[in-house]
Amino acid sequence: MSDPVSWLLIEKGWLVVGSDDKELGKVHEVIGDSNKDIFNGLAVTPGMLRAARYVPAERVRGITEGRVELDFDAKVFERLDEHGKMPPSAEIRADTTNLPR
């Protein structure tokens, strides 16, 4: 087994596996700010002609050279949002007058 590595080393094409050690896809994009060392998550492509899924950083269980392990299986992976779709809680509104006090 390889030693753990930093999220900063993850590259496009690395293998992504689930908690059952089965392949879920390949890294399509790493999302984060390397200047501030903030890892937000990954876009994972499950296969040809299928949309990438967004995996939040807190669901990454381990990173080793060429491989990212997640803390869930394929059933959960299929329910993830497609990468690029903003979750409703992250919606930015120009109208800030209705913010709770």
Which residue, among 55, 62, 63, 54, has the nearest Cα to 82 in the 3D structure?
A: 54
24-35 average pLDDT score: 94
- pLDDT confidence tier of residue 9, bands split at 50, 70 and 90: very high
**Sorting pLDDT into bands at 50, 70 and 90, what band is 68?**
very high
What is the phi/psi pair of residue 77, to 5°?
-55, -40
Tokens coding 68? 């990212």
CATH for 7-85?
3.90.50.10
Q: How far apart are CA 35 and CA 1, in angstroms?
A: 29
Q: How many CB atoms lie within 10 A of CB 24?
A: 26
- The two three-digit tokens of residue 31, written as one number: 């999302």
Distance from C-alpha of 58 to C-alpha of 88, rounded to nearest angstrom? 19
pTM tops 0.75, yes or no: yes
